[in-house]
Amino acid sequence: MPNKKIFILLPDGIGLRNFAFSNFQKIGIEKNFDITYWNNTPFDLTTLGFNEIKIKKAKSNPLTDSYKNARKHIEINLNIKKENDPVYHTYRFPFSYKKIKPALKNLLSLFLITFYSSTKGLEKVRKRILKLESSTSYFNECLETLQDQKPDFVFCTNQRPVLAIAPLLAAKKMNIPTATFIFSWDNLPKATMVVETDFYFVWSEHMKKELLHYYPYISEKQIIITGTPQFENHFESNLRVAKEQFYKEHQLDLNKKYICYSGDDITTCPDDPQYLSDVAEAVRKLNVKGYSLAILFRRCPVDFSNRFDTVIANYPDIIMPITPLWERIGQGWNTILPTKADVILQTNTILHTEMVINLGSSMVFDYAAYKKPCAFINYDVKAKIDKNWSVSKIYNYVHFRSMTNKNAVIWLGSANEIADKIEFGLQHPQHTIEDAKTWFEIINQHPPQEASKRIWEAIKTIISKE
């Protein structure tokens, strides 16, 4: 029997880390799959020894963006009505009218939101999106590729991109089974679903319940719990380097212990520089008490701003920035791509730091994999850059409701208590570790290092039934 041919659809760079820079491809080969990456990213996967077919000049229907944005807002409206919960309003992005073309697109979205904010209206918008995308030359090109290659399965690495719709519709027309992976732990409450596939691969039982809740047209038999490859690198000993080597490479001081400060993008946390400054001040106080600490600062990989420069300059003895190894291949934010080298860098950053401090990111789970504590910033600064922004907005998001025990992290309730809380975390790391592990198990199927294996087993099962 010939090996089953699997197309891994990369509609954007989001899926590279999980499905190109992990052991995902290697495991698939070991299971005798014939794997081709259907690649719409600027990254050349042949440099990794992978088979790839480049998607060239992918272009959606001019109206699809308007319908996609309308779909998101309609889903949010329905969620607010169904649950009587205003938190869903915070998932909206304001429409812009500064330029003519975006303004016209947004006006169409507003029209659709006004007249189609119902269950039946949403269904019409969804169907219209599919019809629009199946009318494009891009769809026809995808169809030609599939007719030529005849894959047995198409697996989409991300449920969000509009440019994933046409390839999946082409597969459906050819009766090729399809699946999509739900990319992030916070995606489903935010109404980010764009594609519609035969199967949906999710992180956990918790995410499965979310999918059934927010998308009632999806049936339970379509959902497969696999976990995410996102955390697999933490369990690969071959990625780890010795402490002395890591310190030497990044000019760190072997006499110091380092705390990782993990930055956010400017939209998520506009006051991040002030928080970094507060943590640096706390570390300085602890060093006066006899500690020998410093901060390893890992900025958000897509944040190339200079907003941290002043803080770093003010604390040259405390803050050591290590820039994530992402590559800017084009000008758009979606052309800033992860690299295998950065996977290794992140792995060793966690391995060789004592704890992490950030504003509510999934880094809590990365550190839980190493049985190390995480501290969440939980206060507003006095001189806020954006008067409408607050930490309370972040922690009110639906995905934080999965934290059944608040002791899973150390909460930093003010700048004045950071030093004491860091000291407590260093002296009593076990205080949060078990609860963090429990939260990790809610969010992601365990053991986490077997996610890729579970995905391939699911694909094999689906194909065998077709």
- Given a cut of 80, whether residue 335 has pLDDT beyond it is no
What confidence category does residue 263 fall into, taking pLDDT thresholds of 50, 70 and 90? very high
**Phi, psi at 420, each rounded to 5°:** -65, -40
Cα-based angle 424, 427, 432 (whole degrees, multiple of 5) = 65
Q: What is the pLDDT of residue 302?
A: 87
What confidence category does residue 268 fall into, taking pLDDT thresholds of 50, 70 and 90? very high
Q: What is the token pair recorded at 442?
A: 């809610």
Between CA 336 and CA 332 the distance in angstroms is 7
- Given a cut of 80, whether residue 330 has pLDDT beyond it is no
What confidence category does residue 304 fall into, taking pLDDT thresholds of 50, 70 and 90? confident
Q: Using an 8 Å Cβ cutoff, are 161 and 133 in contact?
A: no
Query: Which domains does the chain carry?
Result: 5-60+136-228+448-465 (3.40.50.2000), 64-131 (no CATH), 233-443 (3.40.50.2000)
Q: What is the pLDDT of residue 337?
A: 87
Strand boundaries in 158-254, DSSP class E: 178-181, 199-202, 223-225
Q: What is the pLDDT of residue 333?
A: 54
More confident residue, 91 or 331: 91
Q: Using an 8 Å Cβ cutoff, are 268 and 359 in contact?
A: yes
CA dihedral 423→429→431→436, nearest 10 degrees, is 120
Residue 211, CA distances (Å) to 128, 199, 201, 222 in order: 22, 12, 10, 10
Q: Alpha carbon 87 to chain centroid distance?
A: 20
Q: In what order do the strands lie in the sheet with 178-181?
A: 52-54, 34-39, 5-10, 153-156, 178-181, 199-202, 223-225
Q: Is 303 in a helix, a strand, or coil?
A: coil
DSSP letter (8 states) at residue 369: T
Q: What is the pLDDT of residue 194?
A: 97
Mean pLDDT, the chain, whole residue set: 96
226: left (phi over 0), alpha (psi -120 to 50) or beta: alpha
The residue-averaged pLDDT of 178-189 equals 97
The residue-averaged pLDDT of 124-146 equals 98
Tell how many helices (H) and how many strands (E) occur in the chain.
Answer: 17, 15
Q: What is the token pair recorded at 149?
A: 């290659």
What confidence category does residue 28 fall into, taking pLDDT thresholds of 50, 70 and 90? very high
pLDDT, one tens digit per residue, over 425-438 is 999 999 999 999 99
Q: Is 342 in a helix, a strand, or coil?
A: helix
Q: Which amino acid is at 15?
A: G
- Given a cut of 90, whether residue 2 has pLDDT beyond it is no
Instruction: Determine how many CB atoms are found less than 10 A away from the CB of residue 445.
Output: 20
- Given a cut of 80, whether residue 53 has pLDDT beyond it is yes
pLDDT, one tens digit per residue, over 14-23 is 999 999 999 9
Instruction: Determine how many CB atoms are found less than 10 A away from the CB of residue 404.
Output: 10
Radius of gyration of the chain, Cα coordinates, nearest whole angstrom: 23
Q: What is the token pair recorded at 393?
A: 């907005």
Q: Alpha carbon 315 to chain centroid distance?
A: 31
The residue-averaged pLDDT of 177-198 equals 97
In DSSP terms, 132 is beta-bridged to none
Q: What is the pLDDT of residue 134?
A: 98
Between CA 432 and CA 370 the distance in angstroms is 13
49: left (phi over 0), alpha (psi -120 to 50) or beta: left
Q: What is the pLDDT of residue 98?
A: 86
What confidence category does residue 331 fall into, taking pLDDT thresholds of 50, 70 and 90? low
In sign, the C-alpha dihedral spanning 3, 202, 181, 49 is negative
CB-based contacts of 121, cutoff 8 Å, min separation 6: 74, 115
Strand boundaries in 351-422, DSSP class E: 356-358, 374-377, 410-412
For the chain, first and last CA: distance in Å?
Answer: 15
- Given a cut of 70, whether residue 61 has pLDDT beyond it is yes
- Given a cut of 90, whether residue 410 has pLDDT beyond it is yes
Between CA 282 and CA 261 the distance in angstroms is 13
pTM over 0.85: yes
The residue-averaged pLDDT of 380-400 equals 94
- Given a cut of 80, whether residue 334 has pLDDT beyond it is no
Between CA 96 and CA 88 the distance in angstroms is 20
What confidence category does residue 208 fall into, taking pLDDT thresholds of 50, 70 and 90? very high
Q: What is the pLDDT of residue 325?
A: 95
Q: What is the pLDDT of residue 232?
A: 98
Q: Using an 8 Å Cβ cutoff, are 456 and 201 in contact?
A: no
* For the chain, percent of residues with pLDDT exceeding 90: 93
Strand (E) or helix (H) holding 4:
none
Q: In what order do the strands lie in the sheet with 319-321?
A: 319-321, 293-298, 257-262, 356-358, 374-377, 410-412
Q: What is the pLDDT of residue 328?
A: 80
Q: Is 54 in a helix, a strand, or coil?
A: strand
Between CA 11 and CA 60 the distance in angstroms is 12
Q: Which of 373, 355, 357, 368 is nearest to 257 (CA)?
A: 355
The residue-averaged pLDDT of 211-225 equals 98
Q: What is the token pair recorded at 72?
A: 């998101």
Work out the burial of residue 100: count CB atoms within 10 Å of its CB; fewer than 13 is exposed, 13-18 middle, 19 or more buried: exposed
Between CA 124 and CA 129 the distance in angstroms is 9
Between CA 226 and CA 4 the distance in angstroms is 20
Q: Using an 8 Å Cβ cutoff, are 159 and 194 in contact?
A: yes
